[in-house]
Amino acid sequence: MTGMSSIVKTVTRWVSPFIFAFGIYIALTGHLTPGGGFPGGVIIAGCFILLTLAFGKEATFRLFNLKSSSVTDSLAALSFLCMGLLGYVFGSGFMNNFIESGFPGTPFRLLSGGNMPILNLAIGLKVGASLFAVFAYLALFRAIEED
Amino acid sequence: MLPLFVAIPLGVGFLLPLIEEFRDRTRLFSVFVLLETGGLLALSLIKFGDKGIYRMGGWAPPFGINFVQDGLTSLILVVISGIAFVTTLFAITYMKEYENLGRFYGLFSLMLAGMYGVALTGDIFNMYVYLEVAAISSYALVGFNRGAEEIEASFKYLIMGAVGSVFILLGIALLYGSVGSLNIADISVKVSELPNDSFIVLSTALFIVGFGLKAAFIPFHSWLPDAHSSAPTPISAMLSGVLIKVLGIYALARLLFNGLNLPGVAPSILTWIGAGSMFIGGMIALGQKDLKRLLAYSSISQMGYITLAVGMGGILINQGKPGIATLALMGGIFHLVNHATYKSLLFLFSGSVEKIFGSRDLSEIGGLNSISPVSGAAGTIGTLSISGVPPFNGFWSKLVIVIAAIWGKLYPLAGIILFTSAITLAYYLKVQRQLFMGKPTKKASELTKTSAGLYIPLIILAICCIGLGLLYLPEIRGLVLKPAALALQEGSEYTKLVLGL
């Protein structure tokens, strides 16, 4: 049996969906409330790290392995850059908020703020994937050393 | 157009590792990076001499982030792009046998993005972020070979670099606490209203230490010889040729001259640190046996020249001698350009020497001129330029610095410069005697032939070494070097450009 004791596993099983949902919430409402893509991504990565610690890395890698984290990482960074470049096409320049100009964002309205929620989502994915990748690489090298 | 300098390398930097996850296409990666650096070189040449700012997302300067291009930025952009292009040309042949080239070129592009960002940004915290982007990718690149020695060098570089970054960040925090702005031009306006504020003095000291660690001034230099000699050769050329200059002396000069309005003793401290680095770096280089380590110590010594000239410019401005100050600053910037060309030439040359002999130890190798005349000739031009022999570019920039020191009545500095030039000539004569002349050693008989891809970049850089001497001519100097020096000297022009006051 890999991973920690059944107490840890049970608690993790109960808690982790809430942590994951909280991370998504922080990332998605970053343009309206304190928070944003970066803390949201850190919380999501924290959820995966908790799962890895409790159930062992094989269980987590079935959900999300090194290759998929690296691909998500690069794709999220590229989509952030694309949003910046789209400002050239539709707006007045790089990183221009071409969807909603002026001072964007309406309180309590999720779909407001123009390109801000999209950028926050990209950052959330990027930070979550790359933090998890750092942890996963460390776990992997530890395993090689033990063999 | 200015954000493209950061956006293009950033895009390539994330695209190549993504492609590599699915397919390992070395040739495709090389084409991508060549197009990237070639395009950036063309862009920097087209934009050369332009003046203006770019508002990110359309937000106005004191609050929004902005990119600034003035005379100095134009020159630095061309230097970064030029060296990056030649280095890539060399890397395509040199790095062929390595694995994970998508990651290598990806990190290389990220490092470029960081350097362009530092050169362009007009916001002090934004500068810190770009500095970290460039620095962290260079930590990874130094350890790219993954041998024990490389990892150790990379770790040492990581720790020293992180200490430097913490100093810089603390300096930024203190400065923001006392003036309440992060925009360099805005800081300059607010600092002039707060003379002798102790937090500003402290943050100036922190900047000198922090950027000094990045630029490897002499008390903070211990990471550089390890890092620059362990990195893969194209990366050594980038690190010694541009990274320490952009992250170190350029960023520091920008903050001291344009942001903090040259506070009191800071220029003298910079001058004497420069003189010390120059002299001690040269003395240590004299005793080195490993070719790459010798080049690394010589980088410390040559960075001393640049720092000394920039500091001397600051002293002369504070003494009210603007004409001579311009000359000193021009000398420093001229030497920066020259050192970028011949030091990257020499590092790339050391890479091809290592390919030929399988060793970099000067006592084991010799007789290069009879084995590979082309790289021998390129290496000779590089060593003669760096030691300041007349027709080559190194002579002219040292001459300008010495003239500025004598006209500014700073005779001890002129003496140190001349003495260090003699030391430089001495250790490069040692290289000449052991490496180029003499009989081919036993190892050389079983040497491998170098390919065209390894010596074409050397020829390009050698031609630059001869051609850049032309910058000494008054007409060309007024077109290229003078706007760069005036960009530092005329702090009010910078403020006017950014804030439109």
- Tens of pLDDT, residue by residue over B431-486, are 888 888 777 665 554 555 667 788 899 999 999 999 998 888 888 888 888 999 98
At B496, the pLDDT band (50, 70, 90 cuts) reads confident
Torsion sign (Cα): B20, B22, B23, B29: negative
Q: Does B59 touch chain A (CB under 8 A)?
A: no
Task: Match 């007009």 to its residue by tokens.
Answer: B122
Q: Do A94 and B3 touch (CB under 8 A)?
A: yes
At A60, the pLDDT band (50, 70, 90 cuts) reads confident
What's the pLDDT at B365? Answer: 81
Q: Do A67 and B21 touch (CB under 8 A)?
A: yes
Q: Does B54 touch chain A (CB under 8 A)?
A: yes
Q: Does B11 touch chain A (CB under 8 A)?
A: yes
Chain B residues with beta carbon closer than 8 angstroms to that of A125: none
pLDDT over threshold 90, residue A61:
no
Q: Locate B337 and state its tokens.
A: 């350009």
What's the pLDDT at B446? Answer: 52
Of B7, B11, B17, the CB nearest to A94: B7
Torsion sign (Cα): A97, A100, A102, A107: negative
Q: Do B18 and A81 touch (CB under 8 A)?
A: no
What's the pLDDT at A48? Answer: 92
What's the pLDDT at B501? Answer: 65
Distance CA B415, CA A89 (A): 58
Chain A residues with beta carbon closer than 8 angstroms to that of B117: none
pLDDT tens track for B343-383: 999 999 998 888 888 788 888 888 887 788 888 889 999 99
Query: pLDDT over 70 for what percent of chain A?
Result: 95
Q: Do B18 and A94 touch (CB under 8 A)?
A: no
- Triad A83, A87, A88: Cα angle to 5°: 125
Q: B237 to chain A, minimum CA–CA distance in Å?
A: 27
* CA nearest neighbour of B481 among B327, B306, B308, B322: B327
Task: Confirm if A49 and A133 have CB atoms less than 8 A apart.
Answer: no
Q: Locate B294 and state its tokens.
A: 């010798």
Per-chain mean pLDDT for chain B: 90
Q: Do A78 and B15 touch (CB under 8 A)?
A: yes
What's the pLDDT at A147? Answer: 52
At A36, the pLDDT band (50, 70, 90 cuts) reads confident
Q: Do A95 and B57 touch (CB under 8 A)?
A: yes
Chain B residues with beta carbon closer than 8 angstroms to that of A93: 3, 54-58
pLDDT tens track for B110-150: 999 999 999 999 999 999 999 999 999 999 999 998 888 89
Transcribe chain A into DSSP letters.
--SS-HHHHHHHHHHHHHHHHHHHHHHHTTTTSS--HHHHHHHHHHHHHHHHHHH-HHHHHHHS-HHHHHHHHHHHHHHHHHHHHHHHHHSSSTT---SS-SS---TT-SS-STTHHHHHHHHHHHHHHHHHHHHHHHHHHHHHHH-
Phi, psi at residue B208, to the nearest 5°?
Answer: -65, -40
Q: What chain B residue is nearest to A126 in terms of C-alpha separation? A: B14
Query: Which residues of A fall below an 8 Å CB-CB distance to B?
Result: 67, 70-71, 74-75, 77-78, 81, 84-85, 87, 91-97
Distance CA B444, CA B358 (A): 9
Indicate the angle between helix axes B266-286 and B291-318, nearest 10 degrees: 160
- DSSP code, position B256: I
Q: What chain A residue is nearest to B13 in terms of C-alpha separation? A: A74
Task: Confirm if B32 and B106 have CB atoms less than 8 A apart.
Answer: no
Distance CA B384, CA B342 (A): 9
Q: A52 to chain B, minimum CA–CA distance in Å?
A: 23
* CA nearest neighbour of B251 among B161, B358, B120, B135: B120
Q: B39 to chain A, minimum CA–CA distance in Å?
A: 17
Q: B121 to chain A, minimum CA–CA distance in Å?
A: 14
Average pLDDT over residues B242-258: 93
Task: Match 């050329």 to its residue by tokens.
Answer: B237
Chain A residues with beta carbon closer than 8 angstroms to that of B17: 70, 74
Of B17, B55, B57, the CB nearest to A97: B57
In the stretch 19-38 of chain B, residues with CB closer than 8 A to chain A read 21
Average pLDDT over residues A20-43: 90
Q: What counts of helices (H) and strands (E) characterise chain A?
A: 5, 0
β-pairing, B52-55 vs B66-69, is antiparallel
Q: Do A95 and B3 touch (CB under 8 A)?
A: yes
Q: Do A81 and B15 touch (CB under 8 A)?
A: no
Distance CA B340, CA B111 (A): 16
Tell me which of B5, B14, B67 to substitute to probe the interface with A (most A C-beta atoms closer than 10 Å): B14
Chain A residues with beta carbon closer than 8 angstroms to that of B146: none
Q: A10 to chain B, minimum CA–CA distance in Å?
A: 35
Chain A residues with beta carbon closer than 8 angstroms to that of B15: 74, 78
Distance CA B105, CA A29 (A): 36
Task: Return the higher-pLDDT residue of B276 and A147.
Answer: B276
Task: Confirm if B185 and B215 have CB atoms less than 8 A apart.
Answer: no
Q: B341 to chain A, minimum CA–CA distance in Å?
A: 32
Task: Match 């001459």 to its residue by tokens.
Answer: B399
Amino acid at B425: L
Distance CA A66, CA B202 (A): 45
Amino acid at B258: N
> Hey, where are the domains in chain B?
4-499
SS3 state of residue A101:
coil
Distance CA B501, CA B495 (A): 7
Q: Do A85 and B58 touch (CB under 8 A)?
A: no
Q: Do B3 and A96 touch (CB under 8 A)?
A: no
Indicate the angle between helix axes B198-215 and B148-179, nearest 10 degrees: 160
What's the pLDDT at B163? Answer: 94
Q: What chain B residue is nearest to A66 in terms of C-alpha separation? A: B21
pLDDT tens track for B387-430: 988 888 999 999 999 999 999 989 999 999 999 999 999 999 98
pLDDT tens track for B8-53: 999 999 999 999 988 888 888 999 899 999 999 999 999 888 888 8
